[in-house]
Structure 1
């Protein structure tokens, strides 16, 4: 398939020089064409910041380091004009709340036309309308001709999300980032949006990064999974392998704290403690204060992300299956 995205030592910090607070620390991963990577973790783990860094949409106060090569071109090294052209044409992003991402005083058709016209050649109005209709059909929008003249407040949450996805597909990007795309939707519409993402992958060969705190969404949709904690990837591997044989104590804690539908668990087992604030991370492994397997080394040195079995990487001195 070939690697589409290669992220190397991505770092993000905020604040004035000399007093910066690290938010993302040394993130490394690669994603092959036509695959879906799920990024999961508690709130504040750095999932969205990682994606916004790839899009170059962080505030000016952010200091971003490392490399993010999309088909060999480092997005972090592009000048602003080239990055503006890359957004939409090479990389696009769906945000959590479609209602907040769409313009409330412009029709869906107008906003789709704007996205289409961002391309190098401006087509005729008839061609723009035909393209807009096709995009809405591609995302499964009911009665697409009618929706072109409607406004976001006239559509349901699921329809708005479909319209937003259609806008992101207008210039056929190589990589689509979906940041919690189903958070504000009910479970039925959530399932429809997830099926849509899978269809885009299968039909268009699209490469997708899906960010979610919902392990069920990740398990149902993704080929690979990266588990983040305090700005680092602590475990990464094939989705099926990771869910069946998790190794990092944090991943195991996340899986144990979710409800089961088979009734085998009498009570939820939450992870003890809380996520430390980024300005007060403990030395060594950030998860050490909450980990029952932590040893002396864990309090002193941050464990590197190392391959433990074929394609499965873990950042832990005492992973599951090893002596505690």
Structure 2
């Protein structure tokens, strides 16, 4: 019987991270704490930047946007994962699966473009400081943010369209804890070779080329730092190092997963956990614990009882 004439799948079943109930309880406790810390840390950064006039600079404007994206990115997958760790039946409707897939790629792509823009901002600030006010002003940065959300939406729509155009008539078991394009299209009742290549050419190319652009910009920055004073070099390296750590933590897993057209997704669960759960948690700690200006602003706001 033709696949298109078979009963369409109405829900998917997740295999989750493990079938050991002891590990599920431990994972639930650990990931719940990490999710709460992610929300608290990133909200704290946004509130600090909004309520501190001296942090109304372009760097902190981008940082507040990064915190917002991290909150959204982790909220797409973590709550559903925590629910799956508590219940034996780990299911999601077809429509909710597609929605999760859409927003996952929207926020992930937005973060990729934002990190690239932040690298360009550091490049202009360090390598062409005299031209910085003209090249990077608030109007330009708002336009950058608008473009990154537009590009993320287009990318996500492409991924979603390629996924829903395939027929799904069974099986309906996803070897993961969330809906993403690679594990979902494996369940399609047709040959997905062409679709897989299109997906890799879309997601993989965006991740890889943005990462290469970031590496190139930081290479130029490092070369230019030789001409600066020791104090200026130290401050620039401190800022760039924090940014590059975030870039490596986020881009590494994305490139690993989306440049493999026929990967075994079960072997990639650890990598997926890293970029959906761990990275959004680490971002606020990487930026705030090493930034005296942000820590000073938080202390001042606490004294004003803003956080109470």
TM-score when normalising by structure 1 = 0.24
Report which structure shows greater RCO (CA 8 Å, sep ≥6): 2
Structure 1 or 2: larger helix share? 2
More strand, by proportion: 1
